Chains A and B, each alone.
Chain A
Amino acid sequence: MSLYELLRGPLLWVAFGVFFGGMALRVVLFFQLSMQKDKPIYRFFSWKWLWLSIFHWVIPLNETAKKNPVVTLVGFVFHICLIVTPLFLVAHGVLWYESWEISWWSLPESVTDYMTLIAIGSGLFFGIRRMVSPHVRIVTTAADYLLLVVTLAPFVTGYLAYHQYFDYQTIILLHMFFGELMLVVIPFTKLSHFLMFFFSRAVTGMEFGRRNAPSW
Chain B
Amino acid sequence: MGDKAANFNPDVFKKTAEEKSNARLKMWLEICAHCGLCADTCHFYLANERDPKMMPAYKAKKVLETINKKNKFDEDRLDDFYETIYGECTMCRRCTMFCPFGIDVASIISMARSLSASQGKVPKELLKAVEGHLESGNQMSITEEEWVDTLEWMEEELQEELPGATIPIDKKGADFLYVVNAREPKFYPMDISQAAMVFYLAGADWTMSRKGWDVTNLAMFMGDIAGATKIAKMVRDAAEELEVKRVVVTECGHALRSLQFESPIWLGRDHQFEVVHSVSLFAEYLREGRIKLDKSVFANERCTYQDPCNVSRNGGCAQDGREIVKYLCEDFVEMEPHGEYNYCCGGGGGFIPMAGAFKERRLKSGKVKAEQIKATGATICITPCHNCYDQLRDLSKEYELGIKVLSFKEMFEEALIIPEELKAKEDDEDEE
Chain A residue contacts of B313, Cβ below 8 A? 211, 213
**B33 part of interface (Cβ distance < 8 Å):** yes
Cβ-defined partner of B102 (8 Å) among A34, A39, A200: A200
Chain B residue contacts of A213, Cβ below 8 A? 312-314, 316, 318, 340
**A139 part of interface (Cβ distance < 8 Å):** yes
Chain B residue contacts of A196, Cβ below 8 A? 27, 30-31, 101
Chain B residue contacts of A43, Cβ below 8 A? 265
Chain B residue contacts of A211, Cβ below 8 A? 261, 313-316
A127-183 residues at the B interface, CB under 8 angstroms? 129-130, 133-141, 144
Q: How large is the interface on A (under 10, 10 to 19, 20 to 34, 35 or more residues)?
A: 35 or more
> Is B23 a contact of A138 with CB atoms below 8 Å?
no
Chain B residue contacts of A208, Cβ below 8 A? 96-97
Which stretch (B54-62, B382-390, B400-408) binds chain A?
B54-62
> Is A34 a contact of B22 with CB atoms below 8 Å?
yes
> Is A138 a contact of B316 with CB atoms below 8 Å?
no
A1-60 residues at the B interface, CB under 8 angstroms? 29-31, 33-34, 37-41, 43, 53, 57
> Is A214 a contact of B30 with CB atoms below 8 Å?
no
Interface string of A87-114 (1 = CB under 8 A from B): 0000000000000000000000000000
Q: What's the Cα separation between A207 and B314 when bound, in Å?
A: 9
> Is A138 a contact of B55 with CB atoms below 8 Å?
yes
> Is A138 a contact of B30 with CB atoms below 8 Å?
no
Distance in Å: Cβ of A85 to nearest Cβ of chain B: 20
Cβ-defined partner of B57 (8 Å) among A41, A133, A139, A197: A139
**B34 part of interface (Cβ distance < 8 Å):** yes
Cβ-defined partner of A201 (8 Å) among B45, B58, B102, B261: B102
Chain B residue contacts of A39, Cβ below 8 A? 265
> Is B97 a contact of A133 with CB atoms below 8 Å?
no
**B100 part of interface (Cβ distance < 8 Å):** yes
Distance in Å: Cβ of A36 to nearest Cβ of chain B: 8
Chain A residue contacts of B100, Cβ below 8 A? 57, 64, 197
> Is A135 a contact of B52 with CB atoms below 8 Å?
yes
> Is A38 a contact of B22 with CB atoms below 8 Å?
yes
Distance in Å: Cβ of B31 to nearest Cβ of chain A: 4
> Is A190 a contact of B22 with CB atoms below 8 Å?
no
Distance in Å: Cβ of B78 to nearest Cβ of chain A: 21
Chain A residue contacts of B24, Cβ below 8 A? 34, 38, 41, 200, 203
A200's closest neighbor in chain B, by CB? B101
Distance in Å: Cβ of B277 to nearest Cβ of chain A: 11
Cβ-defined partner of B37 (8 Å) among A40, A53, A71, A205: A71
> Is A68 a contact of B32 with CB atoms below 8 Å?
no
> Is B265 a contact of A40 with CB atoms below 8 Å?
yes
B100's closest neighbor in chain A, by CB? A57
B262-310 residues at the A interface, CB under 8 angstroms? 265
Chain B residue contacts of A193, Cβ below 8 A? 31, 33, 101
Q: What's the Cα separation between A39 and B270 when bound, in Å?
A: 13
Chain A residue contacts of B261, Cβ below 8 A? 210-211
> Is B31 a contact of A53 with CB atoms below 8 Å?
no
> Is B34 a contact of A144 with CB atoms below 8 Å?
yes
**B36 part of interface (Cβ distance < 8 Å):** yes
Chain A residue contacts of B34, Cβ below 8 A? 130, 136, 139-141, 144, 190
> Is B31 a contact of A192 with CB atoms below 8 Å?
yes
> Is B23 a contact of A37 with CB atoms below 8 Å?
yes
Interface string of B113-134 (1 = CB under 8 A from A): 0000000000000000000000
Q: What's the Cα separation between A181 and B97 when bound, in Å?
A: 34
**B247 part of interface (Cβ distance < 8 Å):** no
> Is B39 a contact of A204 with CB atoms below 8 Å?
no
**B104 part of interface (Cβ distance < 8 Å):** yes
**A216 part of interface (Cβ distance < 8 Å):** yes
Distance in Å: Cβ of A129 to nearest Cβ of chain B: 8
**B50 part of interface (Cβ distance < 8 Å):** yes
**B residues whose Cβ falls under 8 Å from a Cβ of A:** 21-24, 26-28, 30-37, 39-40, 45, 50, 52-53, 55, 57-58, 61, 96-104, 261, 265, 312-316, 318, 340-341
Q: Can you list the 3 inter-chain pairs with the closest CB atoms, starting with the nearest? A: A204-B102, A212-B316, A34-B23
A/B interface sample: 22 pairs, CB < 8 A: A29-B23, A31-B23, A33-B23, A34-B22, A64-B37, A129-B36, A136-B34, A138-B55, A139-B32, A139-B36, A139-B57, A144-B34, A193-B101, A196-B101, A200-B24, A200-B31, A201-B102, A203-B102, A204-B102, A211-B315, A213-B316, A214-B340
Known pairs A41-B24, A200-B28, A201-B102; list 15 more (Cβ under 8 Å).
A33-B23, A34-B24, A38-B22, A43-B265, A64-B98, A64-B99, A135-B36, A190-B32, A193-B33, A203-B102, A204-B96, A208-B97, A211-B314, A213-B313, A215-B96
**A residues whose Cβ falls under 8 Å from a Cβ of B:** 29-31, 33-34, 37-41, 43, 53, 57, 62-64, 67-68, 71, 129-130, 133-141, 144, 190, 192-193, 196-197, 199-201, 203-205, 207-208, 210-216
